[in-house]
Each structure stands twice: as structure tokens, then as C-alpha cells.
Structure 1
Amino acid sequence: MPRRTATMLASTLVLIALLCAGVLIKVPYAEMSPGPTVNTLGDMNGQPVLSISGHQTYPTSGHLNMTTVRVTGADYNMNLVEAVYGWLAHDNLVVPHNTLYPDGKTEQQSTQENAEEFSQSQESAKVSALTELGIPVKSRTVVSTVVKDSPAEGRLHAGDVIKSVDGTVVKEPKDVAKLVTKRDPGQDVVFTIVPAKKAAAAEKAGKEATETEKVTVTTKKATDPDTGKTRAVVGITAGTDHTFPFTIDISLADVGGPSAGLMFSLGIVDKLSPGELTGGKFIAGTGTIDDKGVVGPIGGIEMKLIAAREAGAQYFLTPSDNCADAASDTPSGLKLVRVKNIDDATKSLAKIRSGETAGLPSCSAS
């Protein structure tokens, strides 16, 4: 066999061997890629994403698109070839597996957590939108969760409205932990509550529940993992429940996490306001939002920018804390708009609507 042919054959066999090895070698990485975008002003699977009843609404136009990221599953075992391809590809992002699934979290656990965050983001989007419009929203502190086998199990229940702890009025969720930890482990704490069922029945009837009950719970000792100090706990998490003056439904399946909060909030503001927020423009964005309208950072910003531009977006509302990463690799034709809160966003939309885009707050890579 000629030396040239033998060399080519040997090289080919080595290459095949390396490819086979690359396919067989598993690496601890996961992949993120651009996901679908959804217009919060439009329909999804024949249903309006945002439906409002019991209050006047107004016509809207243009796009206020929320953006998403696709990720590989927790049980997906990426091989070396896929990892290398992902590193080289511009529209994929390969990250350590524990970035998406920390502490050995299963896909089911991650899905459940994302669903809970998505639900909470919807509530905060409604609150922040109505607050921006000057529409009052009633809030109350409730039991969000009860830890299994804790002192509170069977005595307090998710949805119970907490009026006071040891006679001190509770104004917000953080008050509950402060008041409980004033006790020593083993001491009793008295909760004044409106039971969840009575609170729900009153809300359905359009009334405010006034009939309260006192529940005594004996605290137990817990150790703070950061400081090593012990404190008294009862085994509940307190949260906020809202009563809205009219019905706002958000219908969107197969989406999780809190990052659509800002765009949901803006969609609600648009539907409840005369005129049009977008001026017919295609605007996309992302960002968590809290009850006060503060916009927080999200993950996968690079993938969301690609998804937005591919969908046709001209402007992208970018959380301030994501600005540096977003500005370091912005798709051509997409203008980043920095936002810190919902008020920032509505003011920027007014500038886009009027064509005064030179004054828009921008993002820089530094």
C-alpha cells in the first residue's frame, strides 16, 4: 500500500476513533438555546394571553413579547462532541450542569419550582401594573407553606390570614419571623388568624372576613446554617396574598420561572390604559418584577436577545443588572433599553412611541 494512502487511512481511522470517543464520553454540562417568544398583547393557542373582566379595557397594537430559553433536561447526559459543538455555536450556550440544576435537583423538582415562581410572577405583575395605574390592591399576610413534621403542621394551614402574633399586629410577611424569634425554643406563640376557608369564602362573596381564631403553637429550636446561632421557629413561611378589584387572567402553558413578570405587567397596563404603549412597534423584553414594580435580573439573557431578534423585535427592555452581559453581544438591529422599574419601562415606551429614541436609557458592556 502506498505510504500516502496508508497515512490517509490511518488519519481517517484516528478521526473516527476520536469521534466515537467524543460521543461516548459524557461531560457534566447542560445547554441553553433561544426559546419561543410570546406577545402578551396577543393570543396563544387561540386564547388571549391576558384577559381582563370587570373593568374597561382598550384596544392595543404592536408587540410586548416575553422571551424564553430552552434548556436540556436534568437527566440529559451531554457528550463531548455536543459540548464542543455548543461552545462553537453562536446561538447555543453550554453551561455547567449544576448551574441549571443545583444540588442534584431533579427535573421534576425544577419544573415544580419554576411553576411556583411563574405563578408568583403573575401575581406581582398584576399588583405592579395596577399600582402603576393608581388602582388600589388589597394585600394581606398569609401562611404560604407549612413544613412537614413541624410544630405548625395541623395547626396552621396554607392560606390562613395572619392578623397578629402574640398580640402584635402583622403588617407584612417579615414581621411574622421577627415576632416568632422573640420567643425561646419551647415557648408558645399565639397566632390570631382568619382560617383559609373562611377567608376564601368571604373573598368570593366580595366581603372581608372579620371572624378570627387564636392558635397556639409551641416553638422548636433551629440552627442558622450561616451563623450557627439557634432560634425559635414554628415551621411556616409567610407570604402576601392580594385581593384584586376585578379579574385579570394570564393564560400561558409550558412556561416557568419569574422572568416574564415585567412584560406581563406592561401588557396589563396597556390593556387598561387609553392609547397604545407600543405605538405599533415590536418590543420584547425580560425581567422579574416585584409588587413595588422593581425589575430584577434573569438568566440566559444572551439567548433571549437572539430569540427576540429572530422574532422581529426592534427594541429589548433589559433589566439594569443584565445590561453588561446583554451589551457585550447584542444581535444586529436590536436596540437595548435599560430598565430598573416599571416606571422606567413606561417612560421608555413613550419615547419609542413618539420617535424620541435618542434619549432612551441604553446598556453598556462596562
Structure 2
Amino acid sequence: MNTFFSKIKTKKVLGTITILILISFFIPTPYYLFQPGSVEELASKVTVEGGEKKSDGNLYLTTVLSMKASNIYYLAYGLLAPHTDMRSIVEVKGDFTDKEYDRMLEHMMTSSQQNALVAGLRAAGEEVQVKPNGLFVSTVLGTSDAKGKIEVGDIIRKVDGEPINQMEDFLAFLGDKKAEEKVTLTFTRDGVEKSADIALIPLQNSENKVGVGIVLEDQFLIETARSVKINAADIGGPSAGLMFSLEVYNQLKIGDLTKGYEIAGTGTIDMVGNVGQIGGIREKITAVDKAGIDVFFCPADVHITDTNEKDVLDEAKKNGYEVKIVPVKTIQEAINYLKELPPKQSVA
């Protein structure tokens, strides 16, 4: 009899354990895992009208593989796997919803491509026209009356029926307004025009005494003499800007900028060619080393808070990576470095 009840008890315990294990598969953790991603050549992704794609070497962008630690088993994997960085969801996304975060990544990539196009064409001596084209909402403050009415990713086109194309116009319009006055913002969201009445609030540390409590970024319309197509597929974020601009330049200028080398890099780019800091630099140099890259461009540390240059050199030293790391402040510094390289000697 005791054996019978003992077997029933054992089955209940095993059943309970099985149920708990199954449940644990569906309990998300508040973390993202970041690992070395891909190293992708750029000639197939960038096409400049009238440009030349043939070269002895290649230019590459670098990516970071990110995944949600959707259960405790992924979390455990992240703790044990080499070259894996773990960050909280709040650290990665802030208070953005998933939809807002996706819009922000898409905006950053689109802006990055525009900046790269302008910087690359201008470095090659091409004419480019840049025109303001609305204001992108990148943040809505919790204290703003716009919270719940305006979302990250909305594009503001008018204020009180007046067209607004750039930040300067927007600030000038609000210059003589007072707190609690209302303005009507007309904006597009996912291609649909909408409007909302927003009460103005006092602002601290701002030239304007009042505002709507949203952080805005200028959007631009780019006009060029020749078409440039960039196919980034599902790559998000702004960190491929430098390499996109170098590929645009390389297809336009006479001569092969690569000289037979395999050249990767990372860094944001602005329209005048300045290179900016990015995330995931340690994961990227690991991916670059695995891919057998010769030269890796990274953002130089310019400001006191910059760490890309220090981090990538530290990671390479710790792991014995032999790739040549070249910190740059501008696209022109990268171009000058490549121009001075001797052609790579082929192995017979």
C-alpha cells in the first residue's frame, strides 16, 4: 500500500515539475542579448547611377545580433555564451512601445542612408540639394499634454494650419505663446494624416519658455543629379552610415579605393561627413576578426564621453585580434587612409 501511494506522490511531483518547466518557457525576462552579427559586403546593397562596382577588394558593413531573452533558458545561455552582452529592456528601449521602437530604428536607418548619400556624393564632388521636410517625433515627455495623442514616429507637418518644415520655424511659431495655450498639430502617422490639440507647458533649460513637450528632429528631402539606391533589407539603426558613404564614394571615383583589401567599418555619419559613436563595438570587432577582414574603421573618441575607440582596441588586445583598427573622425580621414595604402599583394 505504501509503495502504491509513494508512486502516486512521485508522479504528482514529476507532473508538477514538468508543468513548471513548461510554464517557464513562456515567462519573458526583461533582458536583451547582444552577440557578434554579420559582416556584409556593400556593393550588392548600394547602386549609384553611372557608378562602377568592380573592385579588387570589398567594403563591408557590420551588424550586431540582438535577441530578447524570452525565457530563463535564453538568459542562462546569455550568461554562459562567449562574446555576449546582456542589457535590460529599459536600457535598450527606454519607455518606447515595441511599435515606437521599430519606428525609431527605421527612422535612424533612413536618416543614416540619407546622410551617407549626401556625405559620399559631396566627398566625390557631386552636387546635392538638401531641403527641410517636416519634423520627426523622437520623444514625448511624460509631462506633456501630447502624451497619448502624439507618438514616436509621427511626422509633424503643420501647427495651427501653418506649414512647418523645420525646427527653426516651429520654435519661431511658439515664441510668443504662453503656458496652457493650445496649438493644433497636424501630423502623419504610418502615412495617415491626423491632428491633435495640445496644451503648451513651461520648459526648463530652453530658449523658448513654453513648448509642447516633445523632442523633434528635422527631416530632409534629398535631391541629386544621379540616383542612388541603398537596399539595407532588415538592417536597422544608424551605425552603417560611414560604410554606406564610402561605398557611394568608391563607385563614383576613378580608381579602386579598396586596392584588394577587405575593409569593414562602423560609425554614424552626418551630412558634412562627421563620424559618430555607435553601440555594440565589441561585438562588431569579434565578427570582423572571424570574417578575416584586413582593415576596420571605427569612430574616433572625440568627446570625453566617447568610448568606441578605447573599447574596440581593448577588445582586440584581450582576444588577440590582428585586424588593423583605424579610428576616424570624418569620411575624408577614411578616404585619405585608403588612398595612402599600397595595393595588397596577392599570394601566388
What TM-score, normalized by structure 2, do the two folds share? 0.71
The aligned residue for residue 362 of structure 1 is none
Question: Tell me, which stretches of 5 or more residues in structure 2 are unaligned?
Answer: 1-16, 138-145, 151-155, 184-196, 302-307
Please point out which of 99, 110, 113 is paired with 2:101.
110
Aligned residue in 2 for 1:260: 240
Given residue 96 of structure 1, which amino acid in structure 2 is its aligned partner?
S
The one-letter code sitting in structure 2 at the alignment partner of 1:67 is T
| Residue 92 (str. 1) matches residue 84 (str. 2) | yes
Q: Which amino acid aligns with 1:348?
A: Y
Equivalent residue in structure 2 for 1:36, among 35, 38, 59: 38
Q: Report if aligned partners of 2:121, 2:128 keep a CA contact under 8 Å in 1.
A: yes
Question: 2:8 — aligned with what?
Answer: none
- What's the offset of the Cα at 1:228? 12
- Which residue is equivalent to 2:254? 274
Matched to 1:329, the amino acid is E
Amino acid at match of 2:239: S
Q: Distance in 1 between matches of 2:83 and 2:100?
A: 27
SS of the residue 2:315 aligns to: coil
Unaligned segments of structure 1, at least 5 residues: 1-15, 44-48, 163-172, 190-217, 356-366
What is the percentage of aligned positions where both structures have the same residue?
A: 28
Structure 1 Cα separation of the partners of residues 28 and 217 of structure 2: 40
What is the deviation of 1:176? 2.1
8 A contact 1:183–1:232 mirrored in 2: no
> Which among 229, 238, 241 is matched to residue 249 of structure 1?
229
Aligned-pair Cα RMSD in Å:
3.7
Q: In structure 2, how many angstroms separate the alpha carbons of the residues matched to 1:258 and 1:231?
A: 31
Give yes or no for the alignment of 1:61 onto 2:41.
Answer: no
Please tell me the residue identity of whatever aligns with 2:124: L
Equivalent-residue separation in structure 2 for 1:50 and 1:280 (angstroms): 19
Count of residues paired in the alignment: 288
Q: After superposition, what is the alpha-carbon deviation per residue over 1:122-179, rounded to whole angstroms, capped at 9, x for unaligned?
A: 100010011112212112222234886799368356xx7x4xxxxxxxxxx4422442
Structure 1 residues 59-87: Cα deviation after superposition (integer angstroms, max 9, x where no partner):
323121101111113xx4342x5445423
Give matches, 1:122-271, under 5 Å: 122-145=113-136, 152=158, 155=161, 162=165, 173-185=166-178, 221-224=200-203, 230-232=209-211, 238-271=218-251
User: Closer, same or farther in 2 for the Cα pair 1:228/1:58, shift >3 Å?
Assistant: closer
TM-score (structure 1 length as normaliser): 0.68
2-structure distance, mates of 1:51, 1:84: 43
User: How far is 1:89 from its partner?
Assistant: 2.9
Report if aligned partners of 1:185, 1:233 keep a CA contact under 8 Å in 2: no
Give the distance between the partners of 1:344 and 1:228, measured in 2 at CA. Answer: 36
Judging changes above 3 Å, is the alpha-carbon distance between structure 1 residues 353 and 182 closer, same or farther for their aligned structure 2 residues?
Answer: farther
Equivalence for 1:192: none
Distance in 2, matches of 1:243 and 1:151, equals: 20
Give the Cα–Cα distance (whole angstroms) in 1 for the partners of residues 261 and 54 of structure 2: 15
Task: Tell me the CA shift for residue 241 of structure 1.
Answer: 2.1
Give the Cα separation in 2 of the matches to 1:223 and 1:337.
46
Q: Secondary structure at the match of 1:257?
A: coil
